[in-house]
Structure 1
Amino acid sequence: MFDVFGSVKGLLKLDQVCIDNNIFRLHYKATVIVLIAFSLLVTSRQYIGDPIDCIVDEIPLNVMDTYCWIYSTFTIPNRLTGVVGKDIVQPGVGSHIDGEDEVKYHKYYQWVCFVLFFQAICFYIPRYLWKTWEGGRIKMLVLDLNCPVVNEENKEERKKILLDYFSDNLNRHNFYAFRFFICEALNFINVFVQIYFMDYFLGGEFSTYGSDVLSFTEMEPEERGDPMSRVFPKVTKCTFHKYGPSGSVQKFDGLCVLPLNIVNEKIFVFLWFWFIALTILSGISLVYRVAVCFWPKVRLYLLRARSRLSSHEDVEQIADKCQIGDWFILYQLGKNIDPLIYKEVINDLAAKLEGTKSIV
């Protein structure tokens, strides 16, 4: 198992300098790790076995397996409910009449690993954009002030560099902040798009998949239509056409077992709940960001909470002089600089900005 997921461990590394927030990291770190791990899992034959095994008379099994894997298999939706017996050997399969019984084809299974990997790339794109646009600015400004033990002489020198930079570039950071806000909006848009894309990929089944699984246990046994068996059937049918000795087409109806769907059904149940939770959290994050952009008081309270060791008067004085971009830089620095050193930075910055015209 370590051999399978060993390549994912590099994504678990924590950055020394934080340039985003926890919800942002849920997108590019937690979700990417989950999707890549699932993509690797569905390609691991040693844990799941062959992805498809078909049974049919007169046709070599390896030929039947390859044919059905390439050209898809199908189930009969009206055979998903009822008691296993005379007419229903397995849920979703059984005798059917061509042209009368509805037939549902399943073509997704050979693409699952690629789709999961593609989604992992999509979830990482906003992070890549922000890291490119950010350009290491926060790391440059931190200057190792995130260490609790810093040589006094070096600390004063680094503080002076930070304060000089901030005072010289006051009110010039708005574009920097808005690019981060754009990436946050892209995260929200992306998770929405991925839900609809997954719904399209599974033939319109994903949007209600998780809720259907939850409600499944409340139904009567004879009325139950297992949504996991409907979307990810373990036993399907496959029709093989072969030319007979006289040149006529012979039709062979076979049963196919899909062991991989035992894993797929759990993966997509988890992803349904994960994407829904991520959408809600990202929506809350956008509401919070709108409040930060349009209400200066919110920025003041947040800066107070971040610099809790500093006096309220110093924080208010800085907030009065700063635009949203300056506030964003200070807030990000507060996540990375040691609290005691950050208190000194706030106090010194308030003194340095004293007399500067306030931003209304």
Structure 2
Amino acid sequence: MSRKNFAYSPYQTRYIMLQAILFYTPRWLWKNWEGGKIHALMMDLDVGICSEIEKKQKKKLLLDYLWDNLKFHNWWAYRYYFCELLALANVIGQMFLMNRFFDGAFLTFGIDVISFVESDQEDRVDPMIYIFPRMTKCTFYKYGVSGEVERLDAVCILPLNVVNEKIYIFLWFWFLILFVLTSGCILYRIIIILSPRMRVYLLRLRFRLIRRDAIDVIVCKSKMGDWFLIYMLGENVDSLIFRDVMHELAARLGHRHHLHIHPSGLGGGKEIQEA
């Protein structure tokens, strides 16, 4: 294995701080764009313990908002999806930045460590020691007895690199896990955007108290952004209250409980509207 010189130590702390800021950026963007909408619409309905009059008033307010702002939530939802896409780009970008930071040795760092563990003891070279040496040659300069600068060579122990190698092997596998999970999340979002039937299925799967025909009507007459808001509200509002609001919203959208449901599962045989 060829010899390499790494000059990362003086910048390591600043680089990790930069990574933390970059990872926090998508969350910061969404918190500002979301503007507390979900919390405001919840109106403490997540607990469900309040008087019937107060509960009825809050349900009406929530229902009126959903009705008045139907089909106006796409931009709100797409900004959330953009933050998820930004998180994926952040993971990929940081892996390549880290690779440049370590002079091309980071992208294969985890694979090299696994290969090192599985290889013969006589032939293997520890990639962690290769990147994070524990001993190195140090050169010191000091004034001698004659007043001239003398050069002294010595062997230095670098105990901190024992910690560094563990940190960066963890980061390598952590980046890999984040990449896989975030890529799966992006694929999931693409399917949701392109497939209204998947939105119906997810609502039915998650909120079993809501009648299927009501879900069909809501998805049919709303857009993808409305679906996203409804799903988020359902995750945060009391299930019984959410069921009542969804049934009333479906009724406003023209749903009748005795309406014949097409065998495909979509109310009245209508095609579900695309986002």
When the two structures are superposed, what TM-score results if normalisation uses the length of structure 2? Answer: 0.88
Give the share of equivalent positions with the same residue, in percent: 46
Q: State whether structure 2 residue 64 is matched by structure 1 residue 164.
A: yes
Instruction: Map residues 236-275 of structure 1 onto 2, 5 A cutoff.
Output: 236-241=136-141, 250-275=150-175
Partner of 1:89: none
Instruction: State the shift of 1:150 in Å.
Output: 2.8
Instruction: Map residues 64-103 of structure 1 onto 2, 5 A cutoff.
Output: 102=3
Q: Which runs of 5+ in 2 are unaligned?
A: 256-269
Q: State whether structure 2 residue 30 is matched by structure 1 residue 130.
A: yes
Q: Tell me how far apart the structure 2 counterparts of residues 333 and 318 of structure 1 sit (CA, whole Å).
A: 14
Q: Which runs of 5+ in 1 are unaligned?
A: 1-76, 79-101
Cα distance change of structure 1 residues 359 and 106 upon mapping to structure 2, 3 Å threshold: closer
Instruction: Map residues 1-360 of structure 1 onto 2, 5 A cutoff.
Output: 102=3, 104-241=4-141, 250-354=150-254, 359=273
Deviations 1:19-76 (A, max 9, x none): xxxxxxxxxxxxxxxxxxxxxxxxxxxxxxxxxxxxxxxxxxxxxxxxxxxxxxxxxx
Matched AA of 1:108: Y
Matched AA of 1:179: R
Q: Give the root-mean-square deviation of aligned CA atoms.
A: 2.1
Q: Secondary structure at the match of 2:180?
A: helix
Instruction: State the shift of 1:164 in Å.
Output: 0.4
Matched AA of 2:177: A
Q: Is the 8 A contact 2:6 2:103 kept in 1?
A: no
How many residues are aligned here?
259
Q: Tell me how far apart the structure 1 counterparts of residues 205 and 43 of structure 2 sit (CA, whole Å).
A: 23
Instruction: State the shift of 1:165 in Å.
Output: 0.6
Q: Tell me how far apart the structure 2 counterparts of residues 283 and 182 of structure 1 sit (CA, whole Å).
A: 13
Q: Is the 8 A contact 2:34 2:76 kept in 1?
A: yes
Regions of 4+ moved over 4 Å: 241-250
Q: Tell me how far apart the structure 1 counterparts of residues 179 and 35 of structure 2 sit (CA, whole Å).
A: 28
Partner of 1:50: none
Q: Secondary structure at the match of 1:238?
A: strand
Q: Tell me how far apart the structure 1 counterparts of residues 58 and 147 of structure 2 sit (CA, whole Å).
A: 87
Q: Tell me how far apart the structure 2 counterparts of residues 221 and 306 of structure 1 sit (CA, whole Å).
A: 53
Matched AA of 2:160: L
Q: Is the 8 A contact 2:140 2:153 kept in 1?
A: yes
Deviations 1:209-247 (A, max 9, x none): 111111112222221110110111111112335677789
Instruction: State the shift of 1:179 in Å.
Output: 0.6
Q: Secondary structure at the match of 2:139?
A: strand
Matched AA of 2:131: V
Q: Tell me how far apart the structure 2 counterparts of residues 206 and 237 of structure 1 sit (CA, whole Å).
A: 24
Partner of 1:40: none
Q: Is the 8 A contact 2:41 2:62 kept in 1?
A: yes
Q: Secondary structure at the match of 1:222?
A: coil
Deviations 1:246-295 (A, max 9, x none): 89875422111111111111111111111000001100111111111111
Partner of 1:6: none
Q: Secondary structure at the match of 1:115?
A: helix
Matched AA of 2:27: R
Q: Is the 8 A contact 1:174 1:323 kept in 2?
A: yes
Matched AA of 1:157: Q
Deviations 1:300-356 (A, max 9, x none): 11121222111100110111111011111101101101112111111111112217x
Q: Is the 8 A contact 1:310 1:343 kept in 2?
A: yes
Q: Is the 8 A contact 1:307 1:342 kept in 2?
A: no
When the two structures are superposed, what TM-score results if normalisation uses the length of structure 1? Answer: 0.68
